[in-house]
Amino acid sequence: MAPLVSLLVSLLTILGLFASGVLSTTFTMVNKCEYTVWPGILTNAGVPPLPTTGFALQKGETKTISAPTSWGGRFWARTLCSQDSSGKFSCVTGDCGSGKVECAGNGAAPPATLAEFTLDGSGGLDFFDVSLVDGYNLPMLVVPQGGSGTNCSNTGCVVDLNGLCPSELKVTSADGRQGVACKSACEAFQQPQYCCSGAYGTPDTCKPSSYSQIFKNACPHAYSYAYDDRTSTFTCAAADYTITFCPSPSTSKKESQGQNTQPQPTNTTSGTPSSTRSSPEQINNTMEYYGASYDQSQASSSTRTTSHAIAGLVTVALAIQLLSQLVF
């Protein structure tokens, strides 16, 4: 009788795993900057963390991480990082304060460009955005792979906002010669009308400022302030995601500064995902980036959908095999 019970337990376990959506989502991070970046990862409260919370990504390097389908959190890139004589690790932008390459549950110190995800949310959809609410430190592009949905599209900020940043928001290098990040108005001035707090804590009372409008004009699909939801949140079903740092060649110019380098200011603007164009294009002397639309990405990459189908077939086959052993 014991073998039968064991087989029954195995059958129920397999079926349970299949029903609970155990299949993972993959995040592929690509560094197209002309310098090393150190991606940081912060997992939302109450969600199991990913296998790593921070690592080095050399110029041209790619790293893929798997996350459970119910994961939520954020990614960013730290720049101009070094280790002092005591072994303490720190970064000029995006530092997480852990003193190590791994962020270990700490978030990014602003200003930093953020990619935010909530997987398997309402209606089984993934919700994601690129946010400049905490400021900006480098260009970033998020591209869904193999997903579906009417709002499943690329998003990001591919402009070098460090070159467009007003002086009162600008963070400069140690020698003061180069802009390395751009603060949000909230971070710079700590006033409720910019932070959407206090009497300004609702969408009706907190409106875009002249500063957030600079971000929005340059990067129309990125969050520019706290209540910038309508044009900045995207959704996909059954997608994997590629996160590219410095996606456009024109945003990855470098200048030597110690052991690392930062982008030089360039005159670029972000474009809208298009179904007919997929490469940078000059418009009015500025660089427009047109990412693949949902239809293109679905046609070119159905990897995750296929893997789901294969996994389902394997699971059903195993279940049938175990059931036949129980019955016969």
Hey, which of 19-23, 106-110, 267-271 has the most confident mean pLDDT?
A: 106-110
Q: Name, in order, each residue with C-beta under 8 angstroms of 303's C-beta and a sequence gap of 6 or more.
A: 145, 146, 240
For residue 55, is it within any domain? yes
What's the distance, CA 322 to chain centroid?
Answer: 41
For residue 13, is it within any domain? no
Q: How many CB atoms lie within 10 A of CB 327?
A: 7
Question: Which residue range forms the structural domain that includes residue 30?
Answer: 25-301
Residue 95 has pLDDT above 90, yes or no: yes
Residue 28 has pLDDT above 60, yes or no: yes
For residue 279, is it within any domain? yes
For residue 2, is it within any domain? no
196-218, pLDDT tens digit by residue?
999 999 999 999 999 999 999 99
Lowest mean pLDDT among 112-121, 136-145, 291-300: 291-300
Burial class (CB in 10 A: 0-12, 13-18, 19+), 152: buried
Average pLDDT over residues 25-47: 97
Binned at pLDDT 50, 70 and 90, residue 311 comes out as very low
Residue 275 has pLDDT above 60, yes or no: no
For residue 11, is it within any domain? no
Cβ–Cβ under 8 Å, residues 120 and 106: no
Q: Alpha-carbon torsion 229, 125, 139, 54, what sign?
A: positive
Q: Tell me the pLDDT of the chain averaged across its residues.
A: 79
**Higher pLDDT, residue 72 or 302:** 72
**Structure tokens given for 67:** 């996350």
For residue 59, is it within any domain? yes
Query: Which amino acid makes up residue 85?
Result: S
For residue 19, is it within any domain? no
Whichever domain contains 223, its CATH number is 2.60.110.10
Burial class (CB in 10 A: 0-12, 13-18, 19+), 241: buried
Per the listing, tokens 């190590």 go with 100
Average pLDDT over residues 216-243: 94
Query: Which amino acid makes up residue 289?
Result: Y
**Higher pLDDT, residue 288 or 90:** 90
Average pLDDT over residues 64-73: 96
For residue 166, is it within any domain? yes
Confidence (pLDDT) at 27: 98
H or E element: which one contains 320? helix 303-327
**Higher pLDDT, residue 135 or 305:** 135
Binned at pLDDT 50, 70 and 90, residue 231 comes out as confident
Confidence (pLDDT) at 17: 42
Confidence (pLDDT) at 251: 44
Nearest alpha-carbon partner for 146 in 326, 302, 265? 302
Question: How many independent structural domains does the chain possess?
Answer: 1
